[in-house]
């Protein structure tokens, strides 16, 4: 049995949901798919098994909005520290940390793969520090 975490897990979960919503807005407003799709296509040429899909704008945006909505809908269970929410929270910490670091690395290097270059900063960069902070905050609360 896990020790009780208390309401701070809920606040951390909510913070990550809000950070992700702002990150989606940042990506949508700065043309993230113009970098993401060519990167996926280049990776699929090198590695045919590469599992990431190519998106058009509306399905991509709707999917992300639904994901954020699901996170927000699960917030009451995070506040009540439902045992099943913890593995999901750890998964989100890993994915969102890698997401934020990817945007920061792309900004530093000016490209994702060698054939996909862009003007700096990388689309989605501005909200990446907030996404990283919220991920680390959630991880810290999971450790209590």
Average pLDDT over residues 116-123: 94
Average pLDDT over residues 48-62: 96
Report residue 144's pLDDT band, with 50, 70 and 90 as the boundaries. confident
By the 8 A CB rule, do 76 and 11 touch? no
By the 8 A CB rule, do 141 and 5 touch? yes
Q: What is the pTM of this model?
A: 0.91
Residue 108 has pLDDT above 50, yes or no: yes
Average pLDDT over residues 125-137: 98
Report residue 3's pLDDT band, with 50, 70 and 90 as the boundaries. very low
Average pLDDT over residues 38-55: 95
Range 106-135 burial, b when 16+ CB lie within 10 A, else e: bbeeeebeeebebeebbbbbbbbebbbebb
Look up residue 1 and give its two tokens. 């049995």
Segment 66-99, tens digit of pLDDT: 999 999 999 999 999 999 999 999 999 999 999 9
Report residue 7's pLDDT band, with 50, 70 and 90 as the boundaries. low
């Amino acid at each position: 049995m896990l020790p009780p975490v208390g309401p701070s897990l809920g606040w951390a979960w909510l913070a990550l949901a809000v950070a992700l919503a702002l990150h989606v807005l940042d990506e949508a407003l700065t043309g993230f798919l113009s970098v993401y799709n060519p990167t996926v296509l280049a990776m699929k040429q090198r590695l045919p098994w590469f599992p990431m899909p190519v998106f058009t704008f509306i399905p991509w945006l709707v999917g992300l909005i639904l994901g954020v909505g699901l996170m927000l809908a699960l917030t009451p269970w995070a506040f009540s520290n439902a045992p099943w929410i913890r593995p999901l929270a750890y998964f989100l910490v890993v994915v969102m940390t890698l997401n934020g670091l990817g945007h920061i690395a792309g900004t530093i290097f000016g490209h994702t793969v060698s054939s996909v270059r862009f003007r700096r900063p990388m689309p989605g960069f501005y909200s990446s520090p907030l996404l990283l902070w919220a991920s680390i905050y959630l991880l810290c609360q999971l450790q209590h």
